[in-house]
C-alpha cells in the first residue's frame, strides 16, 4: 500500500486531517472518499436521531462489512485480514493526524 488519500473529519470541536493508506489498486479515489463521506453523514444523522450506542453501531458496521466481504466473491479470510489491517492503520493515521480546534467550545 502506498496510495495516500487525504481525508478530514470533524469530531468534538476539532478538525482532524489525516491520510488513508489506500490499496495500490484502488480504482477511483474520488468514489472512495465520496462513499465514505456519505456513509459517515448517514451514520452521524442516525446516531443523533436515534441515540444508537457506539457498541450497536460498531456491530452494524461489522455486519455490513461481513456481508460485503461474503458477496464480493473473493477469499473471505484474505479480505477480512485486509480489512483488519486497514482499520488498524487508519486508526493510527487518525491519531497521528493534524488536529485543529474549531469553534469557541
User: What secondary structure does DSSP assign to 72-104, as a single string?
Assistant: T-S-HHHHHHHHHHHHHHHHHHHHTSEEEE-S-
First to last CA, the chain: 38
How far, in Å, CA of 26 to CA of 30, rounded? 10
pTM: 0.84
Q: Residue 1 has what pLDDT?
A: 45
Stretches where the chain sits below pLDDT 70 are 1-2, 105
How far, in Å, CA of 9 to CA of 24, rounded? 23
Q: Hunting for cell 456513509 — which residue is that? A: 39
Boundaries of every domain in the chain: 3-101
Amino acid at each position: 500500500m502506498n496510495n495516500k488519500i487525504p481525508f478530514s473529519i470533524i469530531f468534538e470541536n476539532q478538525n482532524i486531517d489525516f491520510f488513508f493508506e489506500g490499496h495500490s489498486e484502488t480504482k477511483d479515489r474520488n468514489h472512495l472518499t465520496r462513499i465514505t463521506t456519505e456513509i459517515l453523514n448517514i451514520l452521524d444523522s442516525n446516531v443523533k436521531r436515534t441515540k444508537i450506542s457506539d457498541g450497536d453501531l460498531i456491530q452494524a458496521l461489522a455486519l455490513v462489512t461481513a456481508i460485503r466481504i461474503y458477496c464480493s466473491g473473493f477469499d473471505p479470510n484474505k479480505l477480512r485480514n485486509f480489512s483488519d489491517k486497514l482499520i488498524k492503520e487508519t486508526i493510527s493515521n487518525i491519531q497521528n493526524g493534524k488536529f485543529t480546534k474549531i469553534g469557541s467550545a
